[in-house]
């Protein structure tokens, strides 16, 4: 599969303005003060969303694409001038502005944990600060969607899942990324045709209730659809009465058989999925249609899929939409982008419940003899933790990517590998055990040095 | 203020593919069966999200822009061909496909209620069906964000609010629409610079913690910032210790005074806002700095703003981000797009809890003698309800808009008017009283006719 081309969320020349005003006012002040030192910023999640024991890194490649493309076009400069906030020499500086720094990142699809940097950006302070908004914007929601989707994949225990979320995501950009991140997380298909084209994901779809109501009788709709799509057909049963529709399905499937075709499946989109799937399965089996598969969609998430699967409902495939496409039980998380060093000086923040770890860092992952993940250590980038694998890779240098973006296939494999190597207690869908993450000796020493220095400065 | 140009969420030639596959498979079947009758689809919200007593229509103009621009470019046609699902003559048909129908819509910013159509689309069934995904996508999340923002405006009781959500919305498209819809809802500014440029919203911003940590001492950061921005400066107090920073603020503000300048404000971004704002207010007032305003941001939503305002916290301005930008307590709602008539035949759906009202409709709004909204009636489009004002307007005919999109100023005025005319019990932030919405005699008769006809058909 080819690499995805960089589908930027905005025209490259507008990416510079997709930032909070304070990034630009701070930049103006740094510029005026001659502050051009090198800074490192760390992107991490402070705390898990409810019931999450792991997170799936997603959107990191988009964030890096944005860094590489970052620019201010003429309209952007004109607009900034019109605000009266900025000096002429600063606006000239922005005209040629590019991100010239470096970045270390977790590869797309890597499992990660609270407090671990998923991305570290190093560069002149103006540039490294300016990208905060777009980096956080791209990584937060995609990570939430990838994580929610991975939980659905776990719950489905091997049954295929399709993304049906396009109509309920927060915008078209979110719909495309929902399709991509859910496929990375292990879904099998998407209903979103543009996403299918862009990312090479199998497209899938059946029929809507409106299709059924367009015909005088439901069975006429079923016949018309199967006439057109024959073996690909999946009939929607709940427009009027599901059990009645199952009996009509039997008639149509037998007509198809007499023409040498086989109906693929039926879809339930409302009601009690457990009871209805059993009734429909019985009707189909009694008619010798054991090959017809049952798809369920409508209001599903990992909790409901788990309930249906563990309860033994004869559902062969799930379509998920709204609740997963907005990560309904956790539509945001405490992701932050914090300066951790400036010049040759590591920095940190002490505000109540908002502490950050100082210095450019690396995440070191330990595996046990069976190859299962056993513990992570957050250390300094320059440290070495014997027996552990570093997780962040150098992704960008001098403003250019030095490793290509992950293919969607590679990212998908990474999630599958991660989930298979994460011990079950940390994968539980409810009240997971906290995965052990500690800080290295080097990081602890640095932290207490800075704490001492700052306390002295504040009390002097 | 000029009209917003149509900022399409995607290149026009890709809008056709931003759809669920089943819209295209149904279209292929209609095409093959020669089904080209005119259909009307109705977009409405089945039930209120928690604690909502009203909804603010938003994204309707974007949906109409998408209808007007809808097309399949060459890449889209090539992709569809490659799936092997579609016939050559259908693909030729899509090559020249345009939306040629009509639409009636609530103007952007109109208050509306459960079951009321916010948009009705009429056209050849293939076209009217095909746009389902993008219409729902655009209207759902923007309506949720506008509604959540309007609730914050209510809670703030006249204190200005700024949108700080860009980093936590679901993508850049969502960040731009958050800025726009929150301004329509009554916010005063946005930190999102691109949104400020596109929509003519006042940009706002202060400084980040990282700015403070870049300097050796906090007060050096405050001095550098005020040196640059003088009277526009707002200093961030919680990087190390808020009370300590308030004392530094006093020093800097006095230095500014001696140069003939006045500090605008200080910002609190963590901790107990009620207690801290009182402490900081006292420190500032004791130093004769009563003109310095206090801004609070961080984790705010309508509930927390209401608590702070009614508790008397001396906060002059609020910045809201995450919880509003993802509509955290209601990141989705039960919005649906249902066929309500086909050819000369009204249709409806009976699935459990998923009923729809038949026929092209109009919403009629009654006002009392004081000009307050008193009740809505959902009637047939052709009906007349004496003494009530129709809410839906003819927005599009023969595939072209016949009224221009609302300006952001007009939409903003519409929300303000709506809120001032909606009686308080329906505006409450918790457990609002349900606004009275009934169906007209004509609609009730039609519904019972169809119900009778369908029951007869199912039992025959």
Contacts of A300 in chain B (CB under 8 A): none
Q: What is the mean pLDDT of residues A98-124?
A: 98
How high is the pLDDT of residue A49?
A: 97
Q: CA–CA separation, A110 vs A367, rounded Å?
A: 15
**Nearest by CB to A9, which of B171, B335, B347?**
B171
How high is the pLDDT of residue A4?
A: 63
**Nearest by CB to B174, which of A85, A170, A240?**
A170
pLDDT at A2 exceeding the cut of 50? no
The confidence band for A150, taking pLDDT boundaries of 50, 70 and 90, is very high
Give the closest-approach CA distance of A133 to chain B in angstroms: 5
Query: Measuring CA to CA, how many Å separate A363 from each of A222, A353, A426, A443, B419?
Result: 55, 22, 18, 12, 51
Q: Does the distance separating the beta carbons of A134 and B18 come in below 8 Å?
A: no
Q: CA–CA separation, A368 vs A389, rounded Å?
A: 12
* Domain limits, chain A: 12-145+330-459, 146-325
Q: Does the distance separating the beta carbons of B228 and A172 come in below 8 Å?
A: no
Numbers of helices and strands, H then E, in chain A: 18, 19
How high is the pLDDT of residue B164?
A: 98
Q: Tokens at residue A382, please? A: 């320059």
How high is the pLDDT of residue A451?
A: 84
**Nearest by CB to B342, which of A10, A192, A213?**
A213
**Nearest by CB to B171, which of A14, A174, A244?**
A174
How high is the pLDDT of residue A335?
A: 96
Q: What is the mean pLDDT of residues A263-276?
A: 97
Q: Does A244 touch chain B (CB under 8 A)?
A: yes
Give the closest-approach CA distance of A423 to chain B in angstroms: 30
Chain B CA closest to residue A39: B214
Q: Tokens at residue B287, please? A: 């130093």
pLDDT at A316 exceeding the cut of 80? yes
Q: Which of residues 16-35 of A touch B (CB under 8 A)?
A: 17-26, 28-30, 32-33, 35
How high is the pLDDT of residue B2?
A: 44
Give φ, ψ of B450 to 5 degrees.
-70, -40
Q: What is the mean pLDDT of residues A286-313?
A: 98
Q: Does A138 touch chain B (CB under 8 A)?
A: yes
How high is the pLDDT of residue A456?
A: 76
Whether ipTM tops 0.85, in short, is yes
Q: Does the distance separating the beta carbons of A239 and B207 come in below 8 Å?
A: no
> Residue B440 CB: number of other CB atoms within 10 A?
19
Q: Does the distance separating the beta carbons of A229 and B21 come in below 8 Å?
A: no
Best mutation target among B9, B12, B142, B193 (most A Cβ atoms within 10 Å) is B193
Judge whether B260 and B291 are in contact, CB under 8 Å.
Answer: no
Q: Give percent of chain A with pLDDT exceeding 70.
A: 97
Chain A CA closest to residue B206: A22
Q: Does A157 touch chain B (CB under 8 A)?
A: no
Q: Does the distance separating the beta carbons of B454 and A18 come in below 8 Å?
A: no
pLDDT at A283 exceeding the cut of 50? yes
Q: What is the assigned CATH class of domain B12-136+333-459?
A: alpha beta
Q: Does the distance separating the beta carbons of B214 and A30 come in below 8 Å?
A: yes
The 3-class secondary structure across A278-328, one letter per residue, is HHHHHHHHHCCCCCCEEEEECCCCHHHHHHHHHCCCCCCEEEECHHHHCCC
How high is the pLDDT of residue A214?
A: 87
Core vs surface per residue A369-402: b (16+ CB within 10 A) or e: eeeebbebbbbbbebebeebeebbeebbeebebe
How high is the pLDDT of residue A354?
A: 67
Query: What is the third-level CATH fold of B205-297+309-321?
Result: TIM Barrel (3.20.20)
Judge whether B184 and B58 are in contact, CB under 8 Å.
Answer: yes
What average pLDDT is seen over chain B?
95
The CATH homologous superfamily to which domain A146-325 belongs is Aldolase class I (3.20.20.70)
**Nearest by CB to A326, which of B14, B322, B331?**
B331
SS3 (DSSP) at B424: helix
Best mutation target among A5, A13, A25, A134 (most B Cβ atoms within 10 Å) is A25
Lowest-pLDDT choice from A88-102, A206-220, A308-322: A206-220
Chain A CA closest to residue B140: A168
Task: Enumerate the β-bridge partners of residue A33.
Answer: none
Q: Does the distance separating the beta carbons of A133 and B169 come in below 8 Å?
A: no
pLDDT at A89 exceeding the cut of 60? yes
- Which helix (DSSP H) or strand (DSSP E) does residue B23 occupy? helix B21-33
Q: Does the distance separating the beta carbons of A213 and B349 come in below 8 Å?
A: yes
Low-confidence ranges of chain B (pLDDT < 50): 1-2
Instruction: Kindly tell me the sign of the dihedral angle through the C-alpha atoms of B203, B209, B212, B214.
Output: negative
**Nearest by CB to A331, which of B228, B331, B337?**
B331
Query: What is the third-level CATH fold of A12-145+330-459?
Result: nicotinate phosphoribosyltransferase (3.20.140)
A456/A60: higher pLDDT: A60
């Amino acid at each position: 599969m080819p690499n995805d081309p960089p589908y930027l969320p905005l025209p490259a020349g507008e990416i510079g303005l997709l930032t909070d005003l304070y990034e630009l006012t701070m930049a103006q002040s740094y510029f005026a003060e001659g502050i051009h030192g090198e800074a490192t910023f760390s992107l991490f999640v402070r705390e898990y969303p409810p019931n999450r024991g792991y997170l799936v890194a997603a959107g990191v490649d988009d964030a890096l694409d944005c860094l590489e493309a970052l620019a201010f076009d003429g309209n952007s400069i004109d607009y900034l001038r019109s605000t009266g906030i900025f000096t002429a020499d600063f606006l000239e500086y922005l005209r040629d502005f590019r991100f010239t720094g470096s970045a270390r990142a977790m590869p797309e699809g890597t499992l990660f944990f609270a407090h671990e940097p998923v991305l570290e950006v190093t560069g002149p302070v103006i540039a490294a600060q300016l990208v905060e908004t777009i980096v956080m914007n791209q990584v937060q929601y995609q990570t939430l969607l990838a994580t929610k989707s991975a939980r659905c994949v776990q719950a489905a225990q091997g049954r295929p899942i399709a993304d049906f979320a396009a109509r309920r995501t927060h915008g078209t950009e979110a719909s495309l990324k929902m399709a991509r991140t859910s496929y990375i997380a292990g879904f099998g298909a998407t209903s979103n045709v543009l996403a299918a084209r862009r990312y090479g994901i199998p497209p899938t779809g059946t029929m809507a209730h409106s299709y059924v109501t367009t015909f005088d009788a439901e069975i006429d709709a079923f016949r018309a659809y199967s006439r057109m799509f024959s073996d690909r057909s999946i009939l929607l049963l709940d427009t009027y009465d599901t059990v009645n529709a199952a009996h009509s399905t039997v008639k149509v499937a037998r007509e198809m058989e007499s023409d040498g075709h086989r109906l693929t499946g039926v879809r339930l989109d409302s009601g009690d999925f457990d009871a209805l799937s059993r009734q429909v399965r019985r009707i189909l089996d009694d008619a010798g249609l054991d090959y017809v598969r049952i798809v369920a969609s409508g209001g599903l998430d990992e909790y409901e899929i788990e309930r249906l699967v563990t309860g033994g409902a004869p559902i062969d495939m799930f379509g998920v939409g709204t609740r997963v496409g907005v990560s309904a039980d956790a539509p945001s998380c405490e992701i932050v982008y914090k300066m951790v060093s400036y010049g040759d000086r590591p920095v940190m923040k002490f505000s109540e419940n908002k502490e950050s770890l100082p210095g450019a860092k690396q995440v070191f992952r330990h595996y046990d003899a069976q190859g299962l993940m056993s513990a992570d250590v957050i250390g300094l980038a320059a440290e070495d933790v014997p027996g552990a694998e570093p997780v962040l890779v150098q992704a960008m240098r001098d403003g250019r990517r030095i490793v290509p973006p992950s293919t969607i296939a590679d990212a998908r494999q990474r999630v599958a590998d991660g989930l298979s190597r994460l011990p079950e207690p940390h994968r539980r869908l409810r009240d997971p055990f906290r995965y052990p993450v500690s800080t290295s000796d080097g990081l602890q020493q640095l932290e207490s040095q800075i704490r001492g220095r700052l306390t002295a400065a504040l009390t002097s």
